[in-house]
């Protein structure tokens, strides 16, 4: 039995300690990360009241199956990302610890304003992490949009507060029917807009290209897996547990998310660099997951969250490593790179195929479940559009893989002599990461219950599950 | 299918050293073999789909080992269009009927013609993309032509025929002639089937015309596959006594013939390193076994007795004529005539004529490469002489589908329009062949001339290839349809538009200037306020 | 009524974000927006004729005319966060100036290579 507060408190404490003991900062980082992984796995369903005020007046932390599922993924991918890119940590361990605390807080909190605070802390650490590659223009863009988004979110929850007088999530959910329709529309729009900035929904996500597209191995892995997981899981919690949408507003939001994943995949299709491709692919996937959440299919959405987090962790870490060690991530210049680094290539390929959703990989289960459940709720356009965008997604991933594995000019036999002169360093850590996650994806492909267990536990507790 | 795979695997050891990822090649080769088998044995649609996609992506990793990375993308893109259409239909049916099992689904569909039409078109899409029917044929030449030499026969003889299986499943196992009986009938076929037949006819014409143009033998064979897939589809879509049997038989015949042709050219490429017809020539002297294999294959492909290709094509013609499908029959005959032209080009260009000076001292391929080619040729002749062997089996299939079975009596094939005795025809051909051989030995021989033995007015020959008579072989014909419209260009245009749209999205929504996004946020929020009236 | 003023401030902030090219001005616009939001939050807690929500002798706690204390607590947090973000933004602006030698968004080149 572990108190969920520790998941937030330990990294935060270690962050302060790492400022004081600068020499030991990396050790503290490792300790906190390991503790959090362990704690996330040991966490049981519980609810903790902070500061002696009972909810709905005080702040409480909720660890239900939903947040435990998110926490396990979040902390695992965070730890894997930190360990595999340990050489890039440098002076950033304090920031990493703070971001870990804030992300865990986002997953756990049961209070809308507290969520805002953790969101801001996570964003501030993300701004700092995004300066790792010295692309300050992207960072500045991110700061402006992130701050604007958080303020919109704040405005939204305050409007709700002034009408129903509570900020507690559970309390809000029970009182939401009291709110006047117009006020609710105003508030939900602001909340949606605010969260859409963090959850990378179009057109709120102008920062993604500059930040994701310029990430290195560490920040790429953390942004694309840990941050994306936390943001989208909170999006899911707000729009499935607290506010249940219906009518025109749902149609509008669904249109936005569907357009996000189609346009995101199309934009990814037009990119030449691996990281930009992956960035737009993340946008598309966020749109897909948000669509599933908005359609009321939380279970499938959670499965896809796991799939996406694992796949993007491997792919972004490797793409970032390409940028760090080879100096470029242009596909044309890196032809045949995986010929040199076969194990890394194996992990990357498995991740890509799973994300595309080809059979015998985990992603295929997600796709089947998503489509059949969408058919069950009489939605026929969304499945067709999902298939269409996943066709585009498949095409650019296959194009990428074909070039990275097989060097050669068009029209000539694939030969070693075309292989890129560039290569990666520090390959051991990346290879371990790639193999471990690749094998894990293969494992859950044959044994999907491993992931779906937690989800079905969660769904059995709420009405209208799978 | 298994036959093709196992035959080709004899070739593999010799190619291993030339391929960049030997281990991966073997792995994916076996995976795609397993997947192909799985497709044919699967009892429910989901299993079928899983094996189907397994084949797609495992072969997808083999193709870029060859000459082209782009080929993989085209191949994946087109075959995924088909398989996703199939997936959509399968899941829709699963939700509606609660099962994936083929027989149950088909039974339920038989009573629900509206659903059946949707299902028919969505699933047949998967068959069409794999078969390489117009407008999905573009992946065949680029993938076949650029795949590793040993994988091309598998692609053509194995994977393409999976599409035939789907077409078979959808036209015959789902009894289309009964389910769609109340629909619009065109020449005694429901319009659904007729559309398939038209597509098959267009494929025959396009495949033939394009094959005539090709200089690369592998691309030529790939286009011939397009044209022959057209025959298969026409035969299957007719769902009657004769043409259907012909279609099913043609699946096998074409698999054998194209595998033999691809293997012959793999053998040539093994020795000479090229498959361009204009760079070869006179190889009959150096590689007689390969030549014989190729000759038998093309005779079968062009539908000349006594090879097995004749039997199946003949049956398809019979069916077409009996129903009076003049347009499609015309296309079928056109394809037959055209196929003489295109299969003759490699024969004349690569095997006959003068030996190119570059290839003076090449040898026949090793025995283990000859063996599979010879076995395939043997089978082609066997089924040509005794088509009954296979037709009996097909008759069983037809009975199980409640179709009138094809009549077979020893070596005689009985159809409503008449009968055909392959044995007599074989006998006549054998006699003719013997006479020709005697004449060849009796009559004085022509002088054998070297390629360079030519009158050039004392000019030095810089590029002997240009003097080869097979360069620009069919120039007059090609000129006839040089500026043809092309589906490839159309697809390229679509891909380009998507790319442009993507860049547009990038500049509009993902600008480095935050003002763009702030602008969009304001717009969207305003829009939501205006339209989001009900929650 | 006064709430419209604060909404006006928010709109001015958005207008600034939309039109300004200078990085510093963008940060200022962001701050204007934040101030607008914060003032708006405080205004929601206001109760007419209310007094500060402090219990002391002599004031009966039953007449219910306290202003809501929670928004003020929230605003404190929001202000702190806003200051942090502004500081970070200004640091980044300085780094951009060192790198590109200008503060105008249009004058500095693109960062990405595709």
What's the confidence (pLDDT) of residue B432?
Answer: 82
- CA dist A283 and B440 (Å) reads 73
Contacts of B514 in chain C (CB under 8 A): 17, 26
What's the confidence (pLDDT) of residue A465?
Answer: 37
Q: Is A120's CB within 8 Å of C81's CB?
A: yes
Q: Which residues from B are below 8 Å from C when comparing CB atoms?
A: 512-515, 518-519, 522
Within a 10 A sphere around the Cβ of B375, how many other Cβ atoms? Answer: 17
What's the confidence (pLDDT) of residue A426?
Answer: 67
> Each residue of A71-116: pLDDT tens digit?
888 888 888 888 888 777 778 888 888 888 898 888 888 888 888 8
What's the confidence (pLDDT) of residue B15?
Answer: 43
* Residue A257 C-beta-side C-alpha neighbours within 13 Å: 26
| Site of tokens 């295109």 | B342
Going by C-beta distance under 8 Å and a sequence separation of 6 or more, which residues neighbour residue A234? Answer: A106, A107, A115, A119, A195, A199
> Each residue of C81-103: pLDDT tens digit?
889 899 999 998 888 888 888 88
Q: Could you tell me which chains touch chain C, where touching means 3 or more CB pairs under 8 A?
A: A, B
Domain positions in chain B: 2-432, 494-531
What's the confidence (pLDDT) of residue B357?
Answer: 64
Name which of A111, A144, A207 to mutate to probe chain C: the one with the most chain C Cβ atoms within 10 A of its Cβ: A144
- CA dist A285 and A308 (Å) reads 7
Contacts of C70 in chain A (CB under 8 A): 161, 167
- CA dist B365 and B294 (Å) reads 14
| Site of tokens 């704690």 | A39
Contacts of A413 in chain B (CB under 8 A): 18, 66-67
Of C17, C96, C114, the CB nearest to A272: C114
Contact A302, A371 (CB under 8 A): no
- CA dist A302 and A236 (Å) reads 9
Of A246, A268, A339, the CB nearest to B20: A339
Residue A464's pLDDT band, with cuts at 50, 70 and 90, is: very low
Q: Which residue of B has its CA nearest to C114?
A: B503
Contacts of C111 in chain A (CB under 8 A): 135, 137-138, 210, 214
Tokens of A456: 């079905």
Q: Is B505's CB within 8 Å of A267's CB?
A: yes
Q: Which residue of C has its CA nearest to A134?
A: C95
Q: Is B515's CB within 8 Å of C110's CB?
A: no
Tokens of A244: 């249940």
Going by C-beta distance under 8 Å and a sequence separation of 6 or more, which residues neighbour residue A280? Answer: A208, A209, A264, A265, A267, A268, A271, B502, B506, B510
B402 sits in the region (left: phi over 0; alpha: psi -120 to 50; else beta) called: left
Output the DSSP codes for A170-220.
Answer: HHHHHHGGGS-HHHHHHHHHHHHHHHHHHTT-TTS-THHHHHHTT--HHHH
- b/e code B390-418 from CB counts within 10 Å (16+ = b): bbeebbebbeeeebebbbbeebebebeee
Backbone angles phi, psi at B512, to 5 degrees: -70, -15
Strands A59-63 and B185-186, bridge-based pairing: unpaired
| Site of tokens 């019979």 | B318
Within a 10 A sphere around the Cβ of B191, how many other Cβ atoms? Answer: 14
What's the confidence (pLDDT) of residue B152?
Answer: 75
Q: Is A48 helix (H, G, I), strand (E, B) or coil?
A: strand
Q: Examine the pLDDT at A466 and tell me if it is beyond 50.
A: no
pLDDT in tens, chain B (535 residues): 444 544 444 444 444 444 444 555 666 666 666 666 666 666 777 777 887 787 777 777 777 776 777 778 888 888 888 888 888 888 888 887 777 777 777 777 777 777 777 788 888 888 888 887 877 787 877 777 777 777 777 777 777 777 777 777 777 766 666 666 666 666 667 777 788 888 888 888 888 888 877 777 788 888 888 888 888 888 888 777 777 777 877 877 777 777 778 877 877 777 777 777 777 766 777 777 788 888 888 888 777 766 777 777 878 887 787 777 777 788 888 888 787 777 777 777 777 766 666 666 667 667 777 777 777 777 777 777 777 777 777 777 777 766 666 666 656 666 666 666 767 777 777 788 788 888 877 776 665 555 555 556 666 656 655 555 555 666 666 666 666 667 777 778 888 888 888 888 877 777 777 778 888 888 888 888 777 665 5
| Site of tokens 């005779």 | B299
- CA dist B413 and A221 (Å) reads 67
Contacts of A267 in chain C (CB under 8 A): none
Contacts of C112 in chain B (CB under 8 A): 512
C112 touching A (Cβ < 8 Å): yes
Q: Is C88's CB within 8 Å of A128's CB?
A: yes
How far lies C89's CA from each of B515, B516, C84, in Å?
16, 19, 9
Q: Which residue of B has its CA nearest to A360?
A: B50
Name which of A178, A362, A414, A445 to mutate to probe chain B: the one with the most chain B Cβ atoms within 10 A of its Cβ: A414
Contacts of C106 in chain B (CB under 8 A): 513
What's the confidence (pLDDT) of residue B1?
Answer: 45
- CA dist B348 and B336 (Å) reads 18
Of A127, A140, A154, the CB nearest to C23: A140
| Site of tokens 């699946």 | B251
Peptide bond connecting B239 to the previous residue in cis, omega within 30 degrees of 0: no
Name which of C7, C12, C14, C25 to mutate to probe chain B: the one with the most chain B Cβ atoms within 10 A of its Cβ: C14
Of B49, B502, B532, the CB nearest to A189: B532
Peptide bond connecting A203 to the previous residue in cis, omega within 30 degrees of 0: yes
- Whole-model pTM: value is 0.85
Q: Examine the pLDDT at A50 and tell me if it is beyond 50.
A: yes
> pLDDT averaged over chain A?
82
Q: Averaged over A224-242, what is the pLDDT?
A: 86
Q: Averaged over A143-154, what is the pLDDT?
A: 89
What's the confidence (pLDDT) of residue B239?
Answer: 72
How many residue pairs from chains A and B have C-beta atoms closer than 8 A? 211
Q: Is A59 helix (H, G, I), strand (E, B) or coil?
A: strand
Kindly state the DSSP code that residue A421 receives in the 8-state scheme: S
Output the DSSP codes for B452-498.
Answer: T-S--TT---S-GGGGSTTTTTTHHHHHHTTT---HHHHHHHHHHHH
Kindly state the DSSP code that residue B171 receives in the 8-state scheme: I
A148 touching C (Cβ < 8 Å): yes
Q: Is B421 helix (H, G, I), strand (E, B) or coil?
A: strand
What's the confidence (pLDDT) of residue B251?
Answer: 79
Contact A256, B524 (CB under 8 A): yes
Name which of C82, C89, C108, C110 to mutate to probe chain A: the one with the most chain A Cβ atoms within 10 A of its Cβ: C89
Q: Is A463 helix (H, G, I), strand (E, B) or coil?
A: coil
Min Cα distance C22 → chain A (Å) is: 12
Contact B257, B300 (CB under 8 A): yes
CB interface of A with C, residues 352-381, below 8 Å: none
CB interface of B with A, residues 22-61, below 8 Å: 24, 46, 49-51, 53-54, 56-57, 60-61
Q: Is B502's CB within 8 Å of A405's CB?
A: no
Can you list the alpha helix ranges (DSSP code H) found in A213-297? Answer: 217-221, 228-236, 247-269, 274-294
Domain C2-47+66-100 has CATH 2.40.128: no
Of B512, B513, B522, the CB nearest to C14: B522
What's the confidence (pLDDT) of residue B185?
Answer: 67
What's the confidence (pLDDT) of residue B414?
Answer: 64
Q: Which residues from C are below 8 Å from B when comparing CB atoms?
A: 14, 17-20, 26, 105-106, 110-112
Residue B63: closest CA among B218, B199, B193: B218
């Amino acid at each position: 039995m572990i108190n969920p507060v520790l998941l937030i408190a330990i990294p935060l404490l270690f962050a302060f300690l790492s400022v004081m003991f600068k020499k030991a900062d990396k050790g503290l980082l490792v300790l906190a990360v390991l503790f959090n992984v362990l704690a996330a796995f040991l966490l049981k369903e519980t609810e903790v009241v902070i500061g002696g005020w009972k909810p709905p007046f005080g702040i409480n932390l909720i660890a239900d199956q939903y947040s435990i599922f998110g926490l396990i993924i979040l902390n695992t991918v965070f730890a894997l990302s930190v360990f595999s890119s340990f050489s890039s940590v440098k002076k950033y361990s304090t920031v990493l610890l703070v971001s870990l605390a804030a992300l865990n807080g986002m997953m756990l909190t049961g209070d809308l304003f507290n969520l805002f605070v953790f969101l801001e802390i996570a964003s501030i650490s993300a701004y700092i992490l995004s300066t790792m590659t010295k692309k300050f223009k992207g960072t500045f863009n991110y700061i402006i949009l992130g701050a604007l988004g958080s303020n919109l979110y704040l405005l939204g929850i305050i409007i709700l507060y002034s009408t129903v007088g509570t900020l507690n999530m559970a309390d809000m959910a029970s009182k939401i029917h009291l709110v006047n329709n117009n006020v609710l529309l105003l508030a939900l729009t602001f909340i949606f807009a605010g969260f859409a900035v963090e959850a990378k929904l179009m057109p709120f996500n102008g920062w993604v290209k500059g930040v994701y597209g310029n990430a290195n191995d560490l920040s790429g892995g953390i942004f694309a897996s840990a941050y994306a997981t936390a943001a989208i899981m909170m999006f899911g919690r707000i729009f499935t547990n607290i506010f249940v949408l219906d009518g025109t507003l749902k149609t509008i939001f669904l249109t936005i998310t569907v357009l996000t994943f189609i346009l995101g995949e199309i934009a990814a299709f037009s990119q030449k660099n691996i990281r930009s491709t992956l960035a737009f692919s993340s946008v598309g996937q966020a749109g897909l997951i948000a669509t599933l959440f908005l359609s009321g299919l939380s279970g499938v959405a959670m499965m896809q969250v796991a799939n996406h987090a694992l796949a993007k962790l491997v792919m972004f870490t490797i793409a970032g490593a390409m940028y760090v060690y080879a100096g470029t991530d242009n596909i044309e210049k890196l032809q045949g790179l995986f010929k040199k680094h076969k194990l890394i290539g194996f992990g990357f390929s498995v991740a890509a195929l799973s994300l595309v959703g080809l059979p015998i990989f985990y992603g295929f289960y997600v796709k089947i479940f998503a489509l059949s459940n969408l058919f069950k709720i009489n939605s026929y356009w969304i499945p067709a559009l999902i298939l269409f965008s996943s066709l585009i997604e498949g095409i650019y991933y296959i194009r990428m893989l074909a070039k990275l594995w097989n060097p050669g000019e068009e029209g000539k036999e694939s030969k070693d002599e075309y292989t890129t002169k560039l290569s990666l360093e520090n390959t051991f850590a990346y290879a371990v990461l790639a193999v471990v996650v690749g094998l894990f994806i293969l494992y859950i492909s044959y044994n999907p219950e491993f992931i779906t267990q937690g989800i079905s536990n969660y769904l059995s507790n709420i009405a209208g599950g799978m | 299918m298994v036959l093709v795979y196992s035959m080709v695997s004899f070739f593999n050891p010799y190619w291993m050293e030339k391929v960049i990822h030997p281990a991966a090649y073997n792995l994916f080769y076996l995976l795609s073999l397993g997947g192909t088998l799985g497709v044919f044995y699967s009892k429910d649609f989901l299993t079928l789909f899983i094996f189907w996609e397994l084949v797609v992506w495992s072969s997808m990793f083999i193709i870029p080992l060859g000459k082209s990375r782009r080929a993989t993308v085209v191949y994946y893109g087109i075959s995924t269009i088909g398989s996703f259409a199939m997936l959509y239909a399968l899941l829709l049916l699963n939700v509606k009927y609660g099962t994936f099992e083929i027989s149950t689904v088909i039974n339920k569909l038989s009573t629900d013609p509206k659903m059946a039409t949707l299902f028919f078109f969505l699933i047949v899409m998967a068959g069409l993309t794999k078969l390489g029917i117009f407008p999905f044929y573009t992946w065949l030449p680029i993938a076949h032509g650029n795949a590793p030499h040993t994988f091309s026969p598998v692609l053509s003889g194995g994977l393409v025929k999976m599409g035939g299986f789907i077409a078979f499943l959808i036209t015959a196992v789902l009894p289309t002639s009964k389910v769609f009986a109340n629909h619009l009938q065109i020449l005694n076929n429901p319009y659904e089937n007729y559309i398939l037949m038209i597509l098959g006819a267009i494929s025959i014409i396009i495949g033939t015309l394009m094959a005539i143009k090709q200089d690369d033998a592998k691309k030529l064979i790939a286009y011939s596959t397009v044209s022959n897939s057209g025959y298969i589809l026409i035969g299957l879509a007719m769902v009657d006594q004769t043409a259907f049997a012909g279609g099913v038989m043609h699946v096998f015949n074409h698999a054998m013939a194209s595998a033999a042709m691809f293997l012959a050219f793999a053998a040539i490429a093994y020795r000479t390193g090229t498959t361009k017809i204009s760079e070869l020539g006179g190889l009959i002297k150096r590689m007689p076994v390969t030549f014989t294999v190729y000759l038998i294959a093309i005779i079968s492909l062009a539908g000349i007795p006594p090879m097995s290709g004749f039997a199946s094509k003949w049956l398809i013609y019979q069916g077409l004529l009996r129903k009076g499908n003049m347009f499609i029959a015309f296309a079928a005959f056109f394809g037959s005539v055209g196929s003489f032209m295109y299969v003759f080009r490699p024969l004349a260009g690569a095997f006959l004529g003068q030996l190119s000076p570059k290839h003076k001292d090449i040898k026949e391929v090793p025995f283990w490469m000859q063996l599979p080619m010879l076995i395939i040729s043997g089978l082609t002749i066997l089924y040509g002489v005794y088509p009954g062997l296979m037709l009996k089996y097909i008759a069983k299939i037809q009975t199980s589908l409640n179709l009138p079975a094809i009549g077979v009596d020893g070596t005689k094939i009985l159809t409503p329009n008449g009968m055909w005795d392959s044995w007599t025809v074989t006998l006549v051909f054998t006699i003719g062949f013997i006479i020709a051989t005697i004449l060849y030995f009796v009559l004085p021989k022509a002088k054998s001339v070297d390629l360079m033995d030519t009158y050039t007015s004392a000019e030095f020959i810089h590029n002997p290839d240009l003097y080869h008579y097979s360069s620009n072989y069919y120039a007059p014909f090609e000129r006839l349809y040089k500026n043809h419209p092309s589906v490839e260009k159309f697809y390229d245009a679509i891909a380009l538009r998507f790319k442009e749209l993507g860049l547009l999205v990038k500049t509009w929504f993902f600008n480095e200037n935050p003002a763009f996004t702030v602008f969009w946020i304001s717009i969207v929020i305003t829009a939501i306020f205006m339209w989001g009236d009900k929650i | 009524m006064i709430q419209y003023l604060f909404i006006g401030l928010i709109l001015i902030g958005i207008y600034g974000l939309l039109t300004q090219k200078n990085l510093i001005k963008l940060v200022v616009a962001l701050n204007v927006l934040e101030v607008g939001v914060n003032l708006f939050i405080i205004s929601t807690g206001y109760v007419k004729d209310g007094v500060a929500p402090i219990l002391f002798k002599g004031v009966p706690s039953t007449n219910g005319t306290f202003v809501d204390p929670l928004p003020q607590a929230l605003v404190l947090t929001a202000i702190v966060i806003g200051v942090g973000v502004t500081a970070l933004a200004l640091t980044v602006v300085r780094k951009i100036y060192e790198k590109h030698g200008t503060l105008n968004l249009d004058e500095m080149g693109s960062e990405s290579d595709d």
